[in-house]
Amino acid sequence: MTTKRRHVHALSDTQCKPVLKKNREPETSLLTEEHNANISKYFQSVRVRLRSDFYNQACIELAKSFLGQVLVRMLPDGTELCGRIVETEAYLGGDDEASHSRGGKRTKRNVAMYMTAGTVYVYQIYGIYFCMNVSSQGDGAAVLLRSLEPLEGLDVMRKFRNVRRRDLSKSLKHAELCNGPSKLCQALNLDKNYDRKDLSDGQDIWMEAGKKIQEEDIVSCARIGIANAGEWTKKPLRFYIKGNKYVSVRDKSAEASMISVLPRVF
DNA sequence: CATCTGATGTGCT
DNA sequence: GCACATCAGATGA
C-alpha cells in the first residue's frame, strides 16, 4: 500500500483552509487503509480545517452544521484521534433556562461561552466527568458536542475510555467509545485544559470539513438531562443524524414525526 | 431492552 | 448544603 499524497489546491470556500501536514513519510505515516477509506467516505476530497467564519453562525444553525464535521485531536506524540460529529445540542443563553449562561450569567467557569465563536468551553460535571461545547454566534450561546462516530485512533480511544472501567474483560465496541458528551471527552482525553481554546487555530484540537448533512436527515428533539428548565426542557434543541448508530440516545417519537423520504444509510 | 443507584468535586445559593 | 448538560454496573423483564 502506498500513502496517497494530499493535493492542496485553491478553495473557493472561505470557511475552510487546507490542513498542512509535515514529515509524512510512508514508514512513519499515521495514515492507514482504514484512514484512507474514511477520507473518501466522510471527508471532502481533501482534508480542510474549519475556520472562524464557519463557527460564526447562530447557535441552532451551528449545532446542525456540526453534524457530519470531523473533530480531530492530536496527541503529543502526533497520534490523531478523529471522530465524525453525529449528535449536538444548542444552548442559547439569554432566555434559555437550561444554559449555564441563562439570563446573561457570566462566571469564571463559563466565560468561554462569551468568547469568539469557535472557542471551546469545557466544564466538569458530577465531579468526575467533562463536557465539551463550542461557542457560537450570539451572547453566551454554545453548542454541546454529544456524540462522535470514531474514525481514527480507536485503540487509543479505547485505552482512554478504559481508565474508569473496572471490568475490562469485555472490550468497548466501536459504537460505545464516543456516544455521550463525557465519553467523547474521555476518548479524546479532553479536560479543563481545553477550556477557552480556539478551534480555528488550535494546535492539538480542531475540526475538519466533512460531508454536509441534509435537513431531512437531521432529527430535532428535546435535550438530555435538563429536567428543571421549565418550558425550555422540551424545546427541540438536540440534533442528531437520523438512523446513525453512534448517537447516544434516540428519540423514536421525534423520528416517527419526520417526513419520511427514501431510506438512507450513513 | 428499561430502570435504578452510587460515584464524586465544584460552582453557586 | 445542594444541584449538576453523566456514566458504569446491577437488576429485572
Check if residue A91 sits with its Cβ under 7 angstroms from strand C: yes
pLDDT value at position A228? 83
Contact status, residue A11 vs residue A3, Cβ threshold 8 Å: no
Length in residues, chain A? 266
The single-letter DSSP state of residue A203 is S
Burial of A172 (0-12, 13-18, 19+ CB in 10 A): middle
Q: Which of residues 233-262 of A touch strand C (CB under 7 A)?
A: 248
State whether the beta carbon of A1 lies below 7 angstroms from any atom of strand C: no
| pLDDT score recorded for residue A27 | 36
* Alpha carbon distance A251, A241 (integer Å): 11
> How far apart are the C-alpha atoms of A137 and A135, rounded to whole Å?
7
C-alpha cell at A211: 460531508
Reading chain A (266 residues) residue by residue, the pLDDT tens digits are 333 333 333 333 445 556 544 433 333 345 566 666 666 677 777 889 999 999 999 999 999 999 999 999 999 999 999 999 999 999 999 999 999 999 999 999 999 999 999 999 999 999 999 999 999 999 999 999 999 999 999 999 999 999 999 889 999 999 999 999 999 999 999 999 999 999 999 999 999 999 999 999 999 999 999 988 889 999 999 999 999 999 999 999 999 988 766 565 56
Q: Please give the nucleotide, over all strands, whose C1' is closest to the CA of residue A252.
A: B1
CB neighbourhood size of A48 (10 A)? 20
- One-letter amino acid of A125: I
* Residue partners of A80: CB distance under 8 A and separation at least 6: A30, A72, A73, A74, A152, A153
What is the predicted pLDDT for the residue at A42? 74
C1' (B2) to CA (A252) span, angstroms = 15
Q: Which residues of chain A between 96 and 155 are close to nucleic strand B, CB under 7 A?
A: 100, 105, 107-110, 124-128
Longest dimension (CA), chain A: 57
Whole-number pLDDT of residue A35: 65
A182 C-beta less than 7 Å away from strand C: yes
